[in-house]
Amino acid sequence: MPVHQLPPLALPESAYDAKRKQYQSIEIMHLLDQHAPKDTTRILGIADLDLCIPMLSFLFGQAQLDGRVALVSLSRLRQEFYGLPAHNELLRERLTKEVLHEMGHTFGLVHCLEQQCAMSLSTHIGMVDAKAEQYCSRCGLQLAQRVASLNGGV
């Protein structure tokens, strides 16, 4: 599938929650949606920001289920967030897993009960590390069917 990289986007002030010192993911997702080129079927944002929603204290990422927008935060994937030395290889692994996860949602996949599957729910960093950088066979098959039904690129 063809993939295009867009230049960085300026964040709207409304996305920042000064009280929580975090960014409201829903605002950033709206921004991504507005900036997605016309022929794009999916748009993925990678933000080096600590994301949240009003109800939850943080998010590793968020996506529109069966929609076109996905967003992943680097902030809590970094070892430095937990007071540890930087580890680029681990960050890349974690980012891959979260991208697979959020993109899976945009293709209609919901959380998988298979702990090793990239689609399993992660509510803390240990759960992200426990996952593999791939989908389980069931989620993989479901995703392949959905991708095959698409005509456009990502």
Partner 1 sequence: MKKNWPILVVDDEDVMCESMAAWLREDGYRVETAPNGQKAIELTTATDYAICFVDLKMPGGMDGIETMMEIHRARPDASVIIITAYATVDTAIQAMKEGAQEYIVKPCNPQEISMLVSRILKLKKLQSENAILRKKLTRQYRHHDIITKNPRMQEILSLTQEVASLRSTVLIRGESGTGKELVARAVHFSGSRADKPFIVVSCAALTETLLESELFGYERGAFTGANGQAKGKFELANGGTIFLDEIGDISPKLQADLLRVLQERRFYRVGGTEEVQVDVRVIAATNKNLPQEVQQGRFREDLYYRLNVIEIRLPALRERREDIPLLAEHFVQRISSELGKEVQGLSPAALKVLMAHDWPGNVRELENVIERAIVTCRNGMLDEPDFSWLQRGGSRENWEIPDVSLGELERRAIVAALERKHGNVKEASAALGIDRSTLYDKLKRYEIAH
Footprint on this chain of partner 1 (rule: CB under 8 A): 20, 24-27, 52-59, 62-65, 105, 110-111, 121, 123-124
Cα–Cα dist 82/88, whole Å? 14
Q: Which is nearer to partner 1, 55 or 86 (CB)?
A: 55
The residue to which tokens 């204290």 are assigned: 57
Structure tokens at 124: 């803390």
Structure tokens at 16: 């920042």
Please tell me which residue in 27, 89, 98, 102 is annotated as part of the active site.
Answer: 102
Q: How far is the CB of 85 from partner 1 (least distance, A)?
A: 26
Contacts of 8 (CB under 8 A, 6+ apart): none
Q: Which is nearer to partner 1, 8 or 126 (CB)?
A: 126
Q: How far is the CB of 66 from partner 1 (least distance, A)?
A: 9
Q: How far is the CB of 46 from partner 1 (least distance, A)?
A: 18
Cα–Cα dist 29/92, whole Å? 22
Q: Which is nearer to partner 1, 25 or 100 (CB)?
A: 25
User: What's the Cα-to-Cα distance from 110 to each of 1, 19, 23, 121, rounded to whole Å?
Assistant: 22, 32, 24, 9
Q: Which is nearer to partner 1, 21 or 38 (CB)?
A: 21
Please say if 102 is a catalytic residue: yes
Q: How far is the CB of 58 from partner 1 (least distance, A)?
A: 7
| CB atoms closer than 10 angstroms to residue 101 | 27
Residues acting as catalytic residues = 102
